Structure 1
């Protein structure tokens, strides 16, 4: 049976060799294909944490936990040693103030100065805000996650168990519109919870591996809260691309053989979907190849 990671490696190779050359929003340029699917079976405990390079899974899980708080300011992330969202507010700060400031100095000010963080650490109404406080036309805020948990418990045969972040009215106010934008859930007659994640835009080298981990962590939490067991994670990509400054790193990763996938588990049952922390997650038997460094395109 092929190693599950082979699906990802085959997609990397497909984009590298046949992707359409495009000039993208960032100006870096990409090779892109449209439409892809990868399926991961979580039922045996294995987690899609890539082994052909080290993926910092704790960072991905912390990001998911931050989304669930409804947070939109990077201060909370930085205080948790998560720096993956700094690029966007830092670019805005440099552009609007003209100040030459290092990322480290900017992050230090965000962490230590609440007023500065309130002014410059905001990302706008990004993922967490939409998931937990989607503002309807009637002015009411809708908690999509709470409704999902309720439906999983009370009506698991529903075909309406999903949440998404593409709030058209607020896209222009977001530092970055949602890439992983729709999560739909399905419960089998045997009590397995499946997830289909649609990602409209996928940075295949850097972004997608984090999204696999975050979606897995969320699936484990939801399954536990609804007394279900994890099933399949189905990842669907729309515009799936490699940035042109990631091509050599991609070739290096493709030269590596995948190793056995690790296992992710929850170490306790939390009182609610809002009560999990990073200490509640354990990953066993993770022995990946070395990390591969690449720059984020902003």
Structure 2
């Protein structure tokens, strides 16, 4: 059987060879293509934590758990040593205050000063707000995740089992509009949960590795909460791109041979989707190539 990670490597290679060279919002520039798909079978516990470079999968799990809290402030992330969201509020702080503070000092103030965190650490109505507290026109909040779990349990043949974050009315207040914006679910007649995620914008080198882990762990949690078995996970990309300052890193990764994908299990049955903790996620057999560092485009 062909190694599933070749889907990812071939996507990167195809973008480098055939992608449209274009300038983008960040000013860095990309090679970009529209439309991509990958499929992964989670039924035996295998999860797509990439092996051709080390992926710090606990960071991705912590991010997903933070989304599920409905939170939008980076303070709890930083207290868990997750720094992947700092760039956006830091850039805003520097621009609005003229203070060229270091990232380290900015993060320390967010962690230690609640008032400073409330003013400068909030990202606006990003993922968690939309997933758990979508505000309707009538002023009522909608818990899309809670509603999804109820439907998975009570009406698993529904074609309306999805949630999304593209709330047009609140896009302007977001530090970054949602990239992984739509998740849809499908339950087979033998009780397997399949998932599909559409990502409107995808940084293939840096972001996608984390997005695949996030989708996987959410899939496992939802399956457990609904009393289902994990099935197939489908990832779909819209504007799928490689930044111009990532080309050399991509070429390095393409020289590496995939190793066996690891397996992930849940150590316990959590009482609810809100009750999972980082120690509940057990990964075995992860033996990746060394990490590949690259700058984040803000």
Instruction: Tell me the TM-score range normalised by the shorter chain.
Output: over 0.9
Coordinate RMSD, CA, aligned: 0.4
Shift of 1:160: 0.3
Corresponding residue for residue 5 of structure 2 = 5
Corresponding residue for residue 258 of structure 1 = 258
Q: Which secondary structure does the structure 2 equivalent of 1:271 belong to?
A: coil
Distance between the aligned counterparts of 1:49 and 1:295, measured in 2? Answer: 20
Distance between the aligned counterparts of 2:16 and 2:75, measured in 1? Answer: 36
Q: Which secondary structure does the structure 2 equivalent of 1:269 belong to?
A: coil
Corresponding residue for residue 110 of structure 1 = 110
Distance between the aligned counterparts of 1:168 and 1:100, measured in 2? Answer: 33
Distance between the aligned counterparts of 1:232 and 1:297, measured in 2? Answer: 31
Distance between the aligned counterparts of 1:211 and 1:229, measured in 2? Answer: 21
Corresponding residue for residue 225 of structure 1 = 225
Confirm or deny that 1:280 pairs with 2:295: no
Shift of 1:196: 0.3
Deviations 1:23-62 (A, max 9, x none): 0000000000000000000001100000000000000000
Distance between the aligned counterparts of 1:30 and 1:232, measured in 2? Answer: 31
Distance between the aligned counterparts of 1:190 and 1:24, measured in 2? Answer: 45
Confirm or deny that 1:240 pairs with 2:249: no
Confirm or deny that 1:21 pairs with 2:5: no
Distance between the aligned counterparts of 2:129 and 2:76, measured in 1? Answer: 14
Deviations 1:67-90 (A, max 9, x none): 000000000100011000000000
Aligned pair count?
298
Q: Which secondary structure does the structure 1 equivalent of 2:274 belong to?
A: coil
Confirm or deny that 1:292 pairs with 2:287: no
Q: Which secondary structure does the structure 2 equivalent of 1:122 belong to?
A: coil
Distance between the aligned counterparts of 1:66 and 1:263, measured in 2? Answer: 23
Matches within 5 A, 1:118-137: 118-137=118-137
* Structure 2 unaligned blocks of 5 or more: none
Corresponding residue for residue 46 of structure 1 = 46
Distance between the aligned counterparts of 2:104 and 2:198, measured in 1? Answer: 34
Shift of 1:268: 0.3
Deviations 1:233-256 (A, max 9, x none): 100000000000000000000000
Distance between the aligned counterparts of 1:239 and 1:144, measured in 2? Answer: 25
Q: Which secondary structure does the structure 1 equivalent of 2:77 belong to?
A: helix
Corresponding residue for residue 85 of structure 1 = 85
Shift of 1:117: 0.1
Q: Following superposition, which runs of at least 4 residues in structure 1 exceed 6 angstroms of deviation?
A: none
Confirm or deny that 1:185 pairs with 2:185: yes
Corresponding residue for residue 67 of structure 1 = 67
Distance between the aligned counterparts of 2:282 and 2:75, measured in 1? Answer: 25
TM-score by length of 2: 1.00
Corresponding residue for residue 141 of structure 1 = 141
Shift of 1:2: 1.1
Corresponding residue for residue 32 of structure 1 = 32
Shift of 1:100: 1.4
Distance between the aligned counterparts of 1:296 and 1:131, measured in 2? Answer: 25
Distance between the aligned counterparts of 1:164 and 1:128, measured in 2? Answer: 10
